[in-house]
């Protein structure tokens, strides 16, 4: 979503460019009737991730309060980080209160895929995951409230969110790349579908992230890894969300999707 602030309107030339840019983006999204720019006031922030497993829906466009928020998103795609500069950001600001997020097919923007009501609180950050669709299952929203305060100096904040419905409960390991899982200690245990948790303090570095069915015996872990992120670089003073997800048509093979939080 693009919010036009009062600062954009200080210079007439800049205003014209901003309006033209917004019009172009809205045309690409298949909507002509965007709302007026939001009046400054209490705000939260929102981002969106599509995990829709119904391939007949194809790619999706996203509208937030009838304003273009994402275009041509494939499975695992996220917005607003995928928008053209300068609209790209980790999150987009949105006024507090009851808001609406609408998904439309990119190939046919008259076809509404789903509509999600959102309740936005002041100074709160949210991630909206669109899930479901395989085997004609309902497409629903899973909304998390995100902690985005500055992590402890020199550390990385890492959160795991489980959005792979057919994977069952899992134990999660964050280790050196190639470490022996039989000797490792899980950082999270018995994480259920739609469960989420922040890891204890993590030092910056390169890690491997693996998940096994909850309670798997130490000697059997390596042979029973259900989700594997072979390598991830975690920077000092950064924050990441690691999302456990189905494949794009539902079920295995599962995958981890990494979101930058700050």
Least confident of 21-25, 59-63, 107-111, 205-209: 21-25
Q: H/E element holding 22?
A: helix 12-29
Q: What is the pLDDT of residues 1-32, one digit of tens each?
A: 333 333 333 333 333 333 334 344 444 444 33
Q: What is the pLDDT of residue 42?
A: 94
* pLDDT tens per residue, range 120-161: 999 999 999 999 998 888 999 999 999 999 999 999 999 999
Chain centroid, CA 151 distance in Å: 20
Q: And the tokens for 208?
A: 């491997």
β-pairing, 43-52 vs 125-132, is: parallel
Give 166-189 pLDDT, tens digit per residue. Answer: 999 999 999 999 999 999 999 999
Please give the CATH number for the structural domain made up of 6-146: 2.60.40
- Structural tokens at position 238: 């950064």
Same topology between domain 6-146 and domain 157-260: yes
For residue 214, give Cα distances in angstroms to 56, 108, 119, 185: 33, 42, 33, 13
Note the pLDDT of residue 35: 44
- The reported pLDDT for the residue numbered 192 is 98
Q: What is the number of helices (H) and of strands (E) in the chain?
A: 1, 17
Nearest by Cα to 74 from 261, 245, 238, 262: 245
**Among candidates 68, 63, 118, 62, which has minimal Cα distance to 95?**
118
> Which CATH homologous superfamily contains domain 157-260?
Transthyretin/hydroxyisourate hydrolase domain (2.60.40.180)
In the DSSP assignment, the letter for residue 200 is S
Whether the per-residue pLDDT at 98 is higher than 60: the answer is yes
Average pLDDT over residues 94-119: 96
Mean pLDDT of 85-89: 84
Q: What is the mean pLDDT of the chain?
A: 87
Q: Does 217 score more than 80 pLDDT? A: yes
Rounded to the nearest 10°, the torsion over CA 81, 172, 184, 214 is: -170
| Higher pLDDT pick, 71 / 37 | 71
Its pTM surpasses 0.75: yes
Query: What tokens appear for 159 in the block?
Result: 């959160």
The structural domains of the chain, with segments of one domain joined by +, span: 6-146, 157-260
- For residues 166-189, one letter each, b for 16 or more C-beta atoms within 10 angstroms of the residue's C-beta and e for the rest, the string is ebeebbbbbbeeeeebeebebbbe
Q: Which residue has the higher pLDDT, 31 or 197?
A: 197
In whole angstroms, give the CA distance from residue 47 to residue 55: 22
Which pLDDT tens digit goes with each residue over 19-69? Answer: 334 344 444 444 333 344 455 789 999 999 999 999 888 899 999 999 999
């Amino acid at each position: 979503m693009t919010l036009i602030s009062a600062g954009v309107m200080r210079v007439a030339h800049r205003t014209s460019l901003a309006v033209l840019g917004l019009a172009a983006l809205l045309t690409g999204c298949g909507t002509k009737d965007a709302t007026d720019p939001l009046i400054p006031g209490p705000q939260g922030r929102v981002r969106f991730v599509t995990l829709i497993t119904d391939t007949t829906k194809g790619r999706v466009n996203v509208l937030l309060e009838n304003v273009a928020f994402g275009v041509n998103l494939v499975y695992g795609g996220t917005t607003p980080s995928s928008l053209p500069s300068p609209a790209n950001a980790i999150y987009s600001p949105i006024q507090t209160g009851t808001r609406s997020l609408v998904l439309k097919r990119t190939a046919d923007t008259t076809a509404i895929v789903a509509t999600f009501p959102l309740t936005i609180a002041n100074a709160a950050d949210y991630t909206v995951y669109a899930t479901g669709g395989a085997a004609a299952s309902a497409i629903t929203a899973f909304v998390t409230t995100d902690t985005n305060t500055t992590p402890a100096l020199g550390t990385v904040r890492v959160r795991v969110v489980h959005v792979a419905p057919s994977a069952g409960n899992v134990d999660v390991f964050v280790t050196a790349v190639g470490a022996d899982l039989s000797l490792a200690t899980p950082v999270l245990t018995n994480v259920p579908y739609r469960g989420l948790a922040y890891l204890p303090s993590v030092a910056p570095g390169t890690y491997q992230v693996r998940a096994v069915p909850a309670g798997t015996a130490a000697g059997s872990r390596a042979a029973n890894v259900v989700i594997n992120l072979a390598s991830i670089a975690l920077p000092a003073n950064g924050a990441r969300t690691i999302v456990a997800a189905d494949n794009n048509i539902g079920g295995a093979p599962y995958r981890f999707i990494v979101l930058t939080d700050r």
